[in-house]
Structure 1
């Protein structure tokens, strides 16, 4: 029988491949489709998949008690998704993922304001390192900052707020309920603006569109399975491998160069995440069994 850590690593490999596949699919489709249309199609496919799962698991878990919180959470999550999809089409993939890794640090800030969580000196240092990393990547004043990088930064802010609201919902509704509302709410948010610039789909587009619709769900599922088998201190560092992996993908497929500023900035951001992870682990000593560790939804 295989060791749980080996199985957890295998599940994380699935998550890494899913994230990378979705990024490449979005990049390829962006030449023919607008961002809103891609988000609408992605939500439609996701809604069909989640509905099929709920048909077997039971629709009774879809509660109406927290509808307002679901709508608020999914509006800001949609803003985060828009930033991610928009930036993928215009700036290097590694830069998008590096800025995205500031999300846990913005979550710390929002959790302090909305959930009353304390920002310790250690957490404060983590946030400062993350902000410093973003400034190194963007290099304001040294060169013209690409607007898409600023849109991605705004998307990271939105994701941070979304994750904070998800922490609230996680104790109130089931993951399937949260995912169902995510797709249901975000479908019209993408569809309404998309109808004004709707592009005709060709048969060759459908495989990539299905990848966009399924990859986010598969990435989330793989990460949840990994967290059920191993501690966060094992799984989260494996998630950080997304950055060098997508850098290799960007270089191989699009000849994207990774310069020293991106490497340094990404290093500062990852250092901030490691410090934050260390603080969370120390705060929870002695460690609880891995299966009891909650993990916020990180669905793209």
Structure 2
């Protein structure tokens, strides 16, 4: 309680930064637990247990706040988020079993690039030369990681990109939900909806986990739930564009974990490409924040 009270007294930007940093640590450790769980279990089952066990882990929260805490009128947004997130989750989990953890993480940094393109195509947002150049640099970084023509483009890499695309869309949906919904409710609705849908394909490849796999599955669910709660709270305190650069924490973390646990040595191309992608997305985030502040000042002055 003392730590929580001290945390709430911190400036809001500091709270958001700490929460986002914690989320990145939890999300990074998920990659390790996915790899360990999938050694003896089909990845479709791992996806199901990640969601189902998360529901069990959140039962104390439900008991403490009551079912009424889940009351909402945003069923459409929750359903959309669950459908897209579940597809992205399955793609991301599968990618982690096929390619090095650092490569999957580096490709995951392309999510903000996809989000920017989506804003242009779907929302009609106008982007200028500097952001176009940043986008081009980001995709150059992606090519450095993939090196098409020099190495065959693997299914795992394509799945990692599909995961990034899905995450970019769900981030926009979550930001919309945080305006009216509690962070814990957003996470709980996600796993409540995703559990039954992920069970259907898992039944076709079903085998019961052994005791050690159960441990990894509970660690996976716990890390995923804690990560989503921290991430959702952070999104409610600050703009996604301000928090996104902190995602680069994942690359050195997963590089160390992959080397120590699985003997994976990230190539120089993964580090270089990941850094280029990060710098481009960080610049895009900075430009969006600057433009948002400028627009707010103009509305204020105009009013």
> In the TM superposition, what is the alpha-carbon distance from 1:51 to its structure 2 partner?
4.1
How far, CA to CA, are the matches of 1:191 and 1:54 in structure 2? 22
Q: Does the C-alpha gap of structure 1 residues 283 and 59 become closer, same or farther in structure 2, counting only changes over 3 Å?
A: farther
Q: Does the C-alpha gap of structure 1 residues 116 and 231 become closer, same or farther in structure 2, counting only changes over 3 Å?
A: closer
> In the TM superposition, what is the alpha-carbon distance from 1:184 to its structure 2 partner?
1.7
Q: Is 1:210 equivalent to 2:218 in the alignment?
A: yes
Aligned residue in 1 for 2:300: none
Tell me if the contact between 2:187 and 2:228 (Cα under 8 Å) persists in the aligned partners.
no
Aligned residue in 2 for 1:43: 51
Aligned residue in 1 for 2:288: 280
Aligned residue pair count: 288
Q: Is 1:245 equivalent to 2:253 in the alignment?
A: yes
Q: Does the C-alpha gap of structure 1 residues 221 and 166 become closer, same or farther in structure 2, counting only changes over 3 Å?
A: closer
Normalising by structure 1, we get a TM-score of 0.84
How far, CA to CA, are the matches of 1:265 and 1:153 in structure 2? 14
**What are the equivalent positions in structure 2 for 1:89-128 lying under 5 Å apart?**
89-128=97-136
Q: Does the C-alpha gap of structure 1 residues 249 and 276 become closer, same or farther in structure 2, counting only changes over 3 Å?
A: same
**CA deviations over 1:76-116 (Å, ceiling 9, x no partner):** 11111112111111211111111111112211222333344
Q: Which runs of 5+ in 1 are unaligned?
A: 289-300
**CA deviations over 1:103-148 (Å, ceiling 9, x no partner):** 1221122233334433333333332222222122111121211211
Q: After alignment, is 207-216 or 125-134 more displaced? A: 125-134
How far, CA to CA, are the matches of 1:174 and 1:115 in structure 2? 26
Aligned residue in 1 for 2:158: 150
Tell me if the contact between 2:40 and 2:213 (Cα under 8 Å) persists in the aligned partners.
no
Q: Which runs of 5+ in 2 are unaligned?
A: 1-5, 297-303
Q: Does the C-alpha gap of structure 1 residues 122 and 48 become closer, same or farther in structure 2, counting only changes over 3 Å?
A: farther
Tell me if the contact between 2:183 and 2:232 (Cα under 8 Å) persists in the aligned partners.
no
Q: Does the C-alpha gap of structure 1 residues 78 and 284 become closer, same or farther in structure 2, counting only changes over 3 Å?
A: same
How far, CA to CA, are the matches of 1:169 and 1:236 in structure 2? 18
Normalising by structure 2, we get a TM-score of 0.83
The structure carrying a bigger helix percent of its residues is 2
Q: Is 1:52 equivalent to 2:60 in the alignment?
A: yes
Q: Does the C-alpha gap of structure 1 residues 184 and 23 become closer, same or farther in structure 2, counting only changes over 3 Å?
A: same
Aligned-residue CA RMSD (Å): 2.9
Q: Is 1:161 equivalent to 2:175 in the alignment?
A: no
Q: Does the C-alpha gap of structure 1 residues 127 and 51 become closer, same or farther in structure 2, counting only changes over 3 Å?
A: farther
Aligned residue in 1 for 2:208: 200
Aligned equivalent of 1:255, options 234, 250, 263: 263
How far, CA to CA, are the matches of 2:120 and 2:70 in structure 1? 29
> In the TM superposition, what is the alpha-carbon distance from 1:261 to its structure 2 partner?
1.7
Tell me if the contact between 1:51 and 1:180 (Cα under 8 Å) persists in the aligned partners.
no
Aligned residue in 2 for 1:174: 182
